[in-house]
Structure 1
Amino acid sequence: MTVQVGDLVARTSYHCDLPFRVVAIHEETKSAELNGHDVRLYADAPLDDLVPVTEDEREQYEKMTSSKEDESYKLFRQDYKQMKMKHGYTATNGYRDQTSYFEMPGRVLHIDGDPYYLKKCLTFYKKLHVPVIGKYIPESEMPDLAPRLVAQIRPDILVLTGHDAFMKNKGTASDLKAYRNSSFFIRTVKEIRYHWPSLDQMVIFSGACQSHFEYLIRAGANFASSPDRINIHALDPVYLAARISFTSFMDRVNVWDVLKNTLTGAGGLGGVESRGMLRTGLPFPSE
């Protein structure tokens, strides 16, 4: 088999557990750099360890993943309807007033180290009706470029994600040098929190698969991955940001309520109690 950039492959040494996209090939070492197809995991592998994912295998995997995404979306819509009813009840004085009202959801800036995932995430933000701006920045460049972008856009919610990996052969789970990109995420959060220190002024999610959760929270992230050093789904940050965007700024965001509808759950994501970002106004402007 001749492996090419863009191919969908699996690793035989891991019993072909996950499909990966080939992002780079190194002929001198006969190895390839890989990004997870649906999980935010970075990996590398010898070329002779890779096998192609057949069309049937790909369709079967995507069907299974799509089913999980649909279920998560369904649960989110149920929560959204409940929040909408609560907002309407509050804005109309218990439905006693007939005044129409409008809502301003929290604005999201999503910075992603993977352009493929960024495009997929933006599609889901649109499906969830979340106001969002998306930018592609490689993880290593985020500490320098992301703070400038935040200063220009001034979002309510910031998502910093991409790919990461915990490499057991380079240290323990508490050793930052054992992580592929966690140090870049941590530095970026620290730089941004220097200028926006309040956890309520801007809600930050940061991390990817197997990222150093504890250091990211200490750096100033409201939410981060990955408490159990497991893989997270590409869309998990989207559902988290959407829940915060549609929660009233008068309400606290219960961490469990946010995580229960993600595809990974509490093992992959965690955080601290935070405030929602939606504001309700009235009256609704007449045309």
Structure 2
Amino acid sequence: MLKKGDLVTRYSYNHDVVFRIIDIQEDDVYLQGEELRLKADAPYEDVSKLSDRDYEAFKNVVEEQEDYSYRLFRQDYRLLKEARKEKASKHAYEKKGDYFQVPPRILHIDGDSVFLKRCIRLYEKLGLRVHGQHVRETEMPDKVLPLIEKVQPEIVILTGHDAYLKGKGEKTDLQAYRYSRYYAETVRTIRRQYPGFDQLVIFAGACQSHFEHLIQAGANFASSPARVNIHAIDPVYIAARVAYTSFMEHMDIWQVVRNTVSGTDGLGGVETRGMLRIGMPAIEDFSHSFS
């Protein structure tokens, strides 16, 4: 007997994704990805409850993926830090004392409260300043500007869940996506007030989102070029790379997405400047735990 909260997979998709049941209505089961930003529904008979052994194996794989991404990001961070030291030396900062760094403020708006909490923990682990807000995907267009006015961020993350629904149209048809049109409308709302791509950096999208439409709406980075699923924490690594790259530098798109779990099939974007600024002399209040 299935119930809300159970972890399940689908027979028709060869048990490829682990979901959590969020609702059951008559013969239909409504699902939300346990690690992926995907929503789906399935007939009751198509759903199989996950065994404890299979769940442990699944969690081990997920933890390995996340640890690998984190290690790669640490490597990149060290390279970025060394480049900043070299640049600081050329500007004679080090002759007058160590410099400090001022990462940008991040506003992370998420349609999933559980994923948002996980992302906040990772931001904190990375030493980044973030304001997290749980907002349903359908409500984002109306709620985004007051949040931006309150937080005054330099980076905005718009994510949650999404899905391409094959039975509702071709991949080029925006109406065939569960929430892509709301992400796109939210991006357009922001760009009417903040048109500069280097003034306010935007990531938008979730699993299988309409990548081209989100970029055309004005996002710097978006999902999903190959209409694949993206991991819950992927948007954090996009934000972190932007946050720890100097505003004097344009970022290579491959360098931005390569440390994510999903890679270039799941994430892409346009050339964008970093958001980090350095100053001097060194001030203890500007120190950050990530190193």
Residue 23 of structure 1 deviates from its aligned partner by 1.2
Other-structure match for 2:136: 138
Q: Distance in 2 between matches of 1:286 and 1:16?
A: 51
Question: Percent identity among equivalent residues?
Answer: 49
Poorly superposed stretches of 4+, deviation over 6 Å: none
1:35 corresponding residue in structure 2? 32
Do the aligned residues in 2 keep the contact of 1:92 with 1:98 (CA within 8 Å)? no
Distance 1:286 1:150 in 2: 28
List gaps (5 residues or longer) in structure 1: none
What residue ranges of structure 2 are gaps of 5+ in the alignment?
286-291
Partner of 1:88: 85
Indicate whether 1:79 and 2:84 are aligned: no
- Which residue number corresponds to residue 23 of structure 1? 22
Q: Helix, strand or coil for the counterpart of 1:204?
A: strand
Task: State the partner residue of 1:169.
Answer: 167
Deviations 1:238-267 (A, max 9, x none): 111100000000011110100111111111
SS of aligned partner of 1:151: helix
Whether the 8 Å contact between 1:92 and 1:99 is mirrored in structure 2 is no
Report the CA distance between 1:120 and its aligned residue: 1.0
Could you tell me which residue of structure 2 aligns to residue 59 of structure 1? 56
Structure 1 residue 92, shift from structure 2 partner: 3.4
- Cα displacement (A) at 1:91: 2.3
Deviation at 1:47, TM superposition (A): 1.6
User: Following superposition of structure 1 onto structure 2, how do residues 246-261 of structure 1 map, counting pairs within 5 Å?
Assistant: 246-261=244-259
SS in structure 1 at match of 2:156: strand
User: What's the TM-score, normalizing by structure 1?
Assistant: 0.96
CA-CA distance at 1:49 after TM superposition: 1.4
Say if 2:159 and 2:204, in contact at 8 Å, map to a contact too. Answer: yes
Query: Which letter maps to 1:281?
Result: G
Aligned length: 284
The two structures, once aligned, show a CA RMSD in angstroms of 1.4
Instruction: Look up the equivalent residue of 2:76 and give its one-letter code.
Output: D
Q: How does 1:211-230 map to 2 (within 5 A)?
A: 211-230=209-228
Superposition deviation, residue 94 in structure 1: 6.6
How far the C-alpha of 1:286 sits from its partner, in A, is: 7.2
Q: Distance in 2 between matches of 1:286 and 1:238?
A: 25
Counterparts of 1:1-287 in structure 2, within 5 Å, are 2-27=1-26, 30-93=27-90, 97-285=95-283
Question: What secondary structure is seen at the aligned counterpart in 2 of 1:277?
Answer: coil
Q: CA deviation at 1:207?
A: 0.3
